[in-house]
Structure 1
Amino acid sequence: MNAERENLPKVWLERGAAAMAGAIATLGHAPFHVVALYVIAIVILVRLLDRAALRPKRIAAAFALGWCFAIGHFATGLHWISSAFLYDFGVWGPLFGGAAILLLAALLACFWGLGSALAMMLWTSDMRRVPIFAAAVALSEWLRGNAFTGFPWLLPGYVWPPGEPMSQLASLVGVYGLSALTLLLAASPAVLFDAGIKPLRRLAPVLAVALVFAPSWAWGWRRLAEPTPRALDLPVVRVADSGMSQADKWAERPDQEWRVVQRYLEASGSANEADIVIWPEGAIPSVNSYALENEALLDALAAAMGERALVLGLTRREPRGERFVHYNSAVVINGASGAAEIVDIYDKHRLVPFGEYIPFWRLVSGFNIAPLQRIGAGFEPGARAPRRIMLANAPAATILICYEAIFPGLAPAGDDRPGWIISVTNDAWFGNGVGPSQHFAIARYRAIESGLPIARAASGGVSAIVDPQGRVIDANRGAGYAEARLPAPLPVTVYARFGLAASALVALVLALLRLALPRPHRHACG
């Protein structure tokens, strides 16, 4: 007992170092992408886990270190979420926002704690701990991306800039498989500090990992060097943004909807510009009326669009018994002959917990808790997952609304595979910080995984046309637009064909290396 008390300052010092390493790891992600700092952070965590392996309660110690690393990582990497609280809570916004970030970081950190504890069950004092660490944490990251609706943000694989050579591995193994390989690369230099092993033997695992990544980088470079298929019969697409802040868009004025629409029409250009125009999530606010119930507003949109198709995000409602239910929707409108024709409606299927709905609403409704969107009790989830949407004179598309673009594999595959992805989002909640940049980088990985181009309209974020390799063709941030002829899709990727099985294979191979690799011979130090 006395020995444990004496070690407490050392234990908390190590946990503090883990939290600092987690904060450093954030610089590996967008908009920074300093991969070297991410590697350093993971090496620090592995070396701290080496110390934990010597303690009597080593699994609990490993969980604590993984948790501390991740709370430093998520608190710094997701700090921008607190900006959303400024709109409703005024001077109290920073307090509520800060508390929400710490709570979210603490919950998400449990998955890294779980991964570290799982790795500790098979921990070794030699190079074999590196692949088991990578496999265990990759598995916990997959759980984080799927459990309780999932939140796969800041996955290790996202440290590679989308559209560059290493990111192309996502077309084979998805971002979860790429995350496992990234953790393997980042953890391998920890072996250089192992005692009792000859220097050349310490260097061998690092060189072996480098020999895996070198051809991977070369393959990605070659994939990017191949010309992207283009077709002149594909439509010209314009993604537009009003440039309005969240507060300005929701100002309580009798002409507010018309005022916002006018800003979008200015960014959309005349009736002979582009073939398809896309406006972001929640483009038209519901201050005085719901857009789909306002015939004058719809006719004005149709007249301005001319023969063009318009895809836009808005809130719609439907009666259900004695009340209305609300949906976060994307609507396809044709404006032929100046009359608005509602071609299709997609209702967002995956909603943001606490942002768009309150989990366990029946249990907590008495506490007067409302989602950040302030739409009654929140949105209802759409009955169907993302699907094919038909547009005139264009390939079929799949629409992903905001949060949905962070989930791998939501675009339909097989016979239902679309020709492109439309992503509409409202990043104006999160100001001009790193959040919108992270969101854009994540969305570009959906293009790489699926081999499909993306047209992304983002209020307050980056609006862009992205090719199937994740490269930006044209982009805009703020008032204005980005425009380009829609790139042709690539053939079905390995990941699009096999999905999670491709990612799982990577993690399985890494786990098996724990058993297959020989135990290094140690020599006595003089």
Structure 2
Amino acid sequence: MRAARHPATWLPDLVFGLIAALSLAPFGLWAATPLALAALLWRLAEAPPATVLWRALAAGFGWFALALFWITEPFLVDVARHGWMAPFALILMAAGGALFWALPAWAAARLSQGPVARAAAIAAALVLSDWLRGWIFTGFPWAQIGHGWIDTPVAQIAATTGALGLSLLTVTMAALPVAARAMGRKATLAGGMAAILLGAGCWAVGAARLAAPLPTDRDLILRIVQPDATQSLKWDPEWSAVFLRRLLDLSAEPGRRDLVIWPETAVNFLLEEAAEVLPVLSQAADAPLVMGIQRREGSRFYNSLATILPGGTVAEVYDKFHLVPFGEYIPWGDALARFGIGAFAAQQGNGYSPGPGPVAMTLPGMPDFQPLICYEAIFPQHLRALDQRPGWLLQATNDAWFGTLSGPYQHLDQARLRAIETGLPLVRAANTGVSAVIDARGQIRDSLPLNTAGKIDAALPGALPPTRWQAWGNAPVLALILLILGASVRRRTSSS
């Protein structure tokens, strides 16, 4: 408790957490995370467990506060009603995320003994917490420790290890000089050099993968339409008509297109009410259309994607199943709805109901694709849930909620990581941007910037063979983490 009474004891750790987050978009300083984590581990390796708890809590708070400061943006769409919630949302999110650093670090410190074992145990525990964040309380694997590598060749190792492997690489680079510290100055320098060589080796492997030829693009032209519908105006009756006209005009522009794609909740009407307008949409597209739209089934509402065939026939409907807690649904929503409490971002009803789960959608003349609506693209486990591998991934999203500073770019980066992990191209249709065509190695082929109305006409990139990550998932990395933790605990037992 003494550490809690003296801010100076944890203030450096808060700063290290802030510095570490500079690797994430929009900053992109990829070296910041391993360097700042090395400084943090240096302070934690010889501290008592109670001090480790407070220092890791401060560092985690700094990391998540800077990484997730975009979380305030949804509350600023309607400042008069929700603006007061913005600082509380950021503080609560940062504090909640900080617990995912503090509690595993504290447990690792208690279960290990000596600076070498403790540095290794805490580093492994932080990676384990990255994995747990993807599952606990429906999951939120945003701002993982390894995400700072996404815009570098090092990200290519995710084709084998997944995003979790990038986190393990980062903490390993940070822990090597700290673990060697107990053996003297020369050993510390050798540990630092080993960390640099490890990073350089992964960089070289990734660069070689990027240099290898890609499969030939498919002879299919996709038209991705970005209407730039400002969130504060999106549901206004007059403005929604303006945004619909943009969608129609951009879809109808001359040029070949074999499929037209609109973003999440592209229109302000329900699918059940669209029988008369669907032929108009289809005529403008002059090709099959995939569109984000809300739908109703009895008293339930769904955030959906619908495929519309020429003539206006609805072919298939996909319902988003991994919903945003408190944004798209409220836990115990049916009971709370009686008191007028509904989901923050859901336009219809008191919140959305979840769909049945991951699916592949089919269209004539097109390879099957796996749809991902907005938030679903941050969960890699959903991409291993299908019995048969699709030909490509489609993300329809409305990043207008996230502002313009960091949220949309971090979301885009994670979509790129999904392409690397699976070896599948990913096509992204975003309401206000960033819409993009991403190849099977996560490289952006074409894109539309934020707050720009426009379209992309691009060939569908080819798919690579199934990756090792798609075959193995996170099992090898998790096994290695548990091995490190087990070795650290065994060393403590043998020492005592």
| Residue number in structure 1 paired with 2:8 | 13
- Which residue does the alignment assign to 2:170? 182
Tell me the matched-pair count.
489
Separation in 2, partners of 1:317, 1:332: 16
Query: Which residue in 1 is equivalent to 2:52?
Result: 62
More displaced stretch, 416-425 vs 406-415: 406-415
Aligned equivalent of 1:399, options 361, 365, 371:
371
SS at match of 2:150: coil
Q: In the alignment, is the contact (CA less than 8 A) between 2:374 and 2:396 conserved in 1?
A: yes
Deviates more, 1:90-99 or 1:325-334: 90-99
Given the alignment, which residue of 453, 456, 464 partners 1:479?
453
1:299 alignment partner in structure 2: 279
RMSD: 2.3
Q: 1:360 is matched with which residue?
A: 332
Q: Deviations over 1:217-246 (max 9, x none)?
A: 22211111011101443x111211111201
Aligned residue number for residue 84 of structure 1: 74
State the AA in 2 paired with 1:170.
Answer: A
By how many angstroms is 1:389 displaced?
Answer: 0.6
Q: Percent identical across equivalent pairs?
A: 37
Map of 1:330 onto structure 2: 305
* Secondary structure in 2 matching 1:295: coil
Mark the runs of 5 or more structure 1 residues left unpaired by the alignment. 519-526
For 1:291 and 1:382, how far apart are their aligned partners in 2? 15
Q: CA deviation at 1:412?
A: 4.3
Q: Using the alignment, how far apart are the partners of 2:216 and 2:160 within structure 1?
A: 22
Relative to 1, partners in 2 of residues 1:85 and 1:8: Cα closer, same or farther, differing over 3 Å? closer
Q: Which residue of 1 aligns with 2:463?
A: 489
Q: Which range moved further: 456-465 or 214-223?
A: 214-223
How far, CA to CA, are the matches of 2:240 and 2:302 in structure 1?
Answer: 18
Q: How much does 1:416 deviate?
A: 1.1
Contact 2:437 2:446 in 1 (8 A): yes
Q: Take 2:480 and 2:252, find their aligned partners in 1: how far apart are those partners? A: 48
Aligned to 1:313: 292
Alignment map for 1:106-121 (pairs within 5 Å): 106-121=95-110
From the superposition, tell whether residues 369 and 71 of structure 1 become closer, same or farther in structure 2 (CA, over 3 Å). farther
CA positional deviation for 1:9: 4.9
The equivalent position to 1:74 in structure 2, one of 64, 68, 75, is 64
Matched, 1:265 2:252: no
User: What's the counterpart of residue 34 of structure 1?
Assistant: 29
CA distance in 2, matches of 1:412, 1:8: 43
Letter in 1 for 2:355: G
Secondary structure of the residue that 2:45 maps to in structure 1? Answer: helix
Q: Cα distance, 1:391 vs. partner?
A: 1.4
Q: What does the per-residue CA deviation read over 1:22-78, in whole Å, with 9 as the maximum and x for residues that have no partner?
A: 12222111122212222232123213313532xxxx2x3322222221122212211
Equivalent residues in 2 for 1:433-448, closer than 5 Å: 433-448=405-420
Find the aligned partners of 1:69 and 1:331 in 2 and give their Cα distance: 44
Alignment counterpart, residue 353 of structure 2, candidates 332, 355, 380: 380
Structure 1 residue 401, shift from structure 2 partner: 0.3
Match of 1:147 in 2: 136
SS in 2 for 1:111: helix
1:242 aligns with 2:224: no
Q: Which runs of 5+ in 2 are unaligned?
A: none
**1:204 CA displacement:** 2.5
Cα distance change on mapping 1:210 and 1:129 into 2, 3 Å: farther
Equivalence for 2:434: 462
Match of 1:224 among 202, 205, 210: 210
Shift in Å, 1:485: 0.7
Q: Is the 8 A contact 1:423 1:457 kept in 2?
A: yes
Contact 1:123 1:129 in 2 (8 A): yes
Cα offset, 1:470, TM superposition = 0.3
Report the counterpart of residue 167 of structure 1 in structure 2. Answer: 155
Structure 1 residue 167 displacement after superposition: 0.2
TM-score of the pair, normalised by structure 1 = 0.87
Cα deviation, residue 509, structure 1: 4.6
Shifted more, 399-408 versus 132-141: the winner is: 132-141
What's the CA shift for 1:189?
3.8
